[in-house]
Structure 1
């Protein structure tokens, strides 16, 4: 059968790649076409557009790039009609994907959504279009099932979180070998995860790197985003004891003592590696002021949202300063605080449902489209 997958960010590329691998086991003759990234292409899909050309961050940035976004939507529809897939699988990225889903439903294409839009955070009114345009929804966070089924009477499949598979199934590397391979000393490592888009990386790293002279007994390593070239990071590498590693985030987290993390999927990844973290976020002032008025959440990190309590500290907008970051970094380096955090991280993993999310989703998708 023919599968058309749509992902617009690095995390979607990861989850889409693992889903493709799982679908191949269900359907050995499967044919895949996708919008995503290198991982989905390596998994066997024909890559139509890379997510680095799709990711626009914030309200203002989206407005400035509206013409490009509309052109991409039009091109996507034409490409789907030419391919004639047996199913379209949407992976998060709701601003784009829900528009395609509305069109696809009218055209008679089966519409499956893997990794729900965060309707529980903002734009809850999108539930109307989800119920109208999405045939099957696969959710990866435990509270999402309750949100859809209890609050909105829309049945969904809770499949667990695919990050658990991605982390535990990866090829392991010995810490000593990792340090030697990348020219690192034996000092404890503080990982810097500044995000994936250029504008957020620039904002976040400017403050994160101020920690380098304040913590001389630690080594700082930037986790380079797969969507960016090494040359983009060069201006940030002038400080001593700062290293850049591209496409090695999981290996880096596996040997890190602590991490400074831009809000997003990376906060959950860091927690699953049991690394104490400070969660940071700073956007453009206009985008932040708009978001503050439309997003109705107690927390911005997935760790705190899932556990429904302030497990990791969140430094948002004006709170994200070098002095506050230094204070919170000292806190997570304290052994007593670290022990408390590890217990919460264990509870987090239990709530996420264990391994097998990609396989479970692939099985449900294949069984459903096989019926038709």
Structure 2
């Protein structure tokens, strides 16, 4: 998880993490907690298991938070991403991709329509209506400066891009996340299902709360002014269900959930077809085009990519890590992009890009690790079922 950088910034919660016993490492340009010691956590596996069974607080303030606003904002964004933005209703969230002209993935991101309702003046006979089109973007921390430069270059002058540099982002994840949050902010979880978002005023805290996350569990991401990040973290961790968790558990949880990590499973050399992210390309827009990278991807969307991102279940207990080569007999057919031991399943799992002739489920493969061959089989993802809350059945 560590990325060495010459200079690292501190998160708004830096001192809070250290007081909780966090081991800090450089990641995406920031000093970030990889795990906690003692009663606050107990290590990566303990934090992983606590998230799966209760609720954990993750500091993801390294992520970029942006606002794109102005007339034509949705149409301008649709020229850069393949997701449908013009049809995205206020309060709704969409996962999509920022692509280059060749269809390579510059980043994966979440876009929320945060356009506000403006009340009319009844005495003047004026009706209310939706205000200036406004969209909230959450982009990856390691790519946010490149994303900002890309957006500034390609968005028209009448559309405004604002970097919310003074905001922290806290993720509350796990099956008890809604219970804990509902005790702190009564009624809020009941107003949201998966991929919905709302503005919420909690005393002097101006929050943006989204029901989503990166663990495969139910949960919430809460944007808050940096100056209020610590009291918010303290308030949430005061609930018996909640403990802090670090990057290590976040990585093992997202791997079990089959969620790709930019810079590892996704980059400019991968595309939505090979990455098995076709769901991020709205069906009508696949055919209509009008977005950056469409022309380069037309043939691949119709016939499939030469390589595909797949899940692998690995025999034994030795994990296969990023960079390990994948073989079918003597033939080199791919490479691992993410891998590790699954605490939930009790055996190693991995993601890999393999040649499409070897990407079918149940295909038996081998992974070369330290001169040895580990047996593996192509398996469906997620490895651990998602538990997103989509409303009462």
For normalisation by structure 2, the TM-score amounts to: 0.25
Larger Rg: 2
TM-score by length of 1: 0.26
Bigger strand fraction: 2
- Larger helix share, 1 or 2: 1
